[in-house]
Amino acid sequence: MFKKPNEKIGVLGDGVTAKAVREKLAAWTIQEYPISEADIVVTSPGIAPRDYPSSKAEFISEIEFAYRLKQDEEIWVGITGTNGKSTVTALLAYTVGCTPQGNIGTPLISSIDTFTPIRVIELSSYQLEGCSTFRPDIAVILNITPDHLERHITMENYAKAKANITLFQTAKDTLIIPHDTLIESSTAASKAQRVYLEESSPLWKFTRHFPLPGYHNKMNALAAILVCKALKTVSDEVMMLGLSTFKGLEHRIEFVCAWDKRKFYNDSKGTNPDSTLIAVQAFDNPIHLILGGKDKGLDLTSFLNALKQEKIKTIGVFGEIKERFFKEAHIHAPTLPLTCFNTFDEATEAAASHSQPDDIILFSPACSSFDQFKNFEDRGTQFKRWVLEHYGQL
């Protein structure tokens, strides 16, 4: 049975999350209190804790707020990591037949008053940072690599925020993680049963049925398989059907079109260096890489070194980061075949003109989109539209 909250609730922010919380309060005929008078304040993931107004209230994320209203019989699966969250969340939700929730789209609070047997929830470090009792039955941390350091400052803080997903789990719960020093040390205090994401898993054989390209997608498939097994209610037939018929998400190494024996791919969701390198690894053919966007201040040295690969034929950099990228490449990787452009279309046109038959033209920006676009979806949609207009006919 769902029970409405009975504390004095304040809401911080006015984005998607805050709107969803306010809508629910209105639907439950619960008054929103000013922050200074509230017992609890439901925060928005875009606002860093250092920017919270001073108040005697407890500040919690929308995920924590929803968790406090959870119905006992529901099973919650939480998925976090630097990269692959949306793919694994969507794949699992598709396989078990529920709507993916959390960071991927529908805020958790929006359906909290409707009993849902299994909830598959994508969780960002910002959402987990504001959790203080949240306990999913099954937690997955896919990987942790440098990202969002403008907010978390150090990798240890970033890992600590992600580790909140398992901090309150008990011995009845499951924690799925890779063998990774930072992840293992930050989750050392967890009481949950550990299951490892590793190629030596006896379940790895099932990943060959997953149609999406790249080794990373096999890991994503394995994560979903391990969750299905931990749920105990998903048959192998249902699991295999989900795995083998999943179409992938828009803007993740998404095929756009073939032109004169070249192929264009949109990986606009590649918003950090690691995800771009993963996309590069997913192909064996020569690649013309287009990257750039808003500078998140990440260290570029190891990224530039990792781009020194025979198969990367040209790199076109556009957007806010281009000057720093060019300067640092001059110091650390002067032989990279790098050219700067103002916009993605100039970079794509140059990439196409330098390409040979069988080459891949890969748009995987490694940066966030907010310098020239509304978000990564807008950026990917504009890229696809432009490519189809110019190269979609042959």
Least Å distance, CB 91 to ligand ADP, is: 9
The interface region with ligand ADP, picked from 163-171, 182-190, 228-236, 269-277 by CB under 6 A, is 269-277
Longest dimension (CA), the chain: 66
Instruction: Please list, in sequence order, all residues whose beta carbon lies within 8 angstroms of the beta carbon of residue 389, skipping any fewer than 6 positions away.
Output: none
Least Å distance, CB 40 to ligand ADP, is: 28
The interface region with ligand ADP, picked from 231-239, 274-282, 305-313, 354-362 by CB under 6 A, is 274-282
- Binding map of ligand ADP across residues 181-220, x = CB under 6 A, - = no contact: -----------------------------------x--xx
**Using rule CB under 6 A, residue 252 touches ligand ADP:** yes
Q: Smaller CB distance to ligand ADP: residue 96 or 144?
A: 144
Least Å distance, CB 256 to ligand ADP, is: 14
User: CA-to-CA distance for 113 and 3, rounded, in angstroms?
Assistant: 8
Burial class (CB in 10 A: 0-12, 13-18, 19+), 214: middle
Nearest alpha carbon to residue 289 among 338, 328, 254? 338
The interface region with ligand ADP, picked from 78-86, 239-247, 295-303, 367-375 by CB under 6 A, is 78-86
Least Å distance, CB 224 to ligand ADP, is: 11
Binding-site member from 95, 125, 127, 143 for ligand ADP (CB under 6 A): 143
Specify whether the CB–CB gap between 41 and 58 falls below 8 A: yes
Binding-site member from 18, 40, 192, 279 for ligand ADP (CB under 6 A): 279
The interface region with ligand ADP, picked from 30-38, 82-90, 205-213, 298-306 by CB under 6 A, is 82-90
Least Å distance, CB 111 to ligand ADP, is: 20
Nearest alpha carbon to residue 160 among 137, 190, 198? 190
**Using rule CB under 6 A, residue 141 touches ligand ADP:** no
Residue 70 one-letter amino acid: K
Positive or negative CA dihedral for 55, 59, 65, 69? negative
Binding-site member from 119, 152, 262, 269 for ligand ADP (CB under 6 A): 269
Count residues binding ligand ADP (CB under 6 A).
Answer: 19
**Using rule CB under 6 A, residue 85 touches ligand ADP:** yes
Strand order in the sheet with 75-80: 101-102, 118-122, 75-80, 138-141, 174-177, 193-196
**Using rule CB under 6 A, residue 44 touches ligand ADP:** no
Least Å distance, CB 323 to ligand ADP, is: 25
Q: Smaller CB distance to ligand ADP: residue 7 or 250?
A: 250
Q: Smaller CB distance to ligand ADP: residue 9 or 90?
A: 90
Q: Smaller CB distance to ligand ADP: residue 88 or 239?
A: 88
**Using rule CB under 6 A, residue 135 touches ligand ADP:** no
Q: Smaller CB distance to ligand ADP: residue 141 or 234?
A: 141
Residue numbers at the binding site for ligand ADP (CB under 6 A): 81, 83-87, 142-143, 216, 219-220, 252-253, 267, 269-270, 275, 278-279
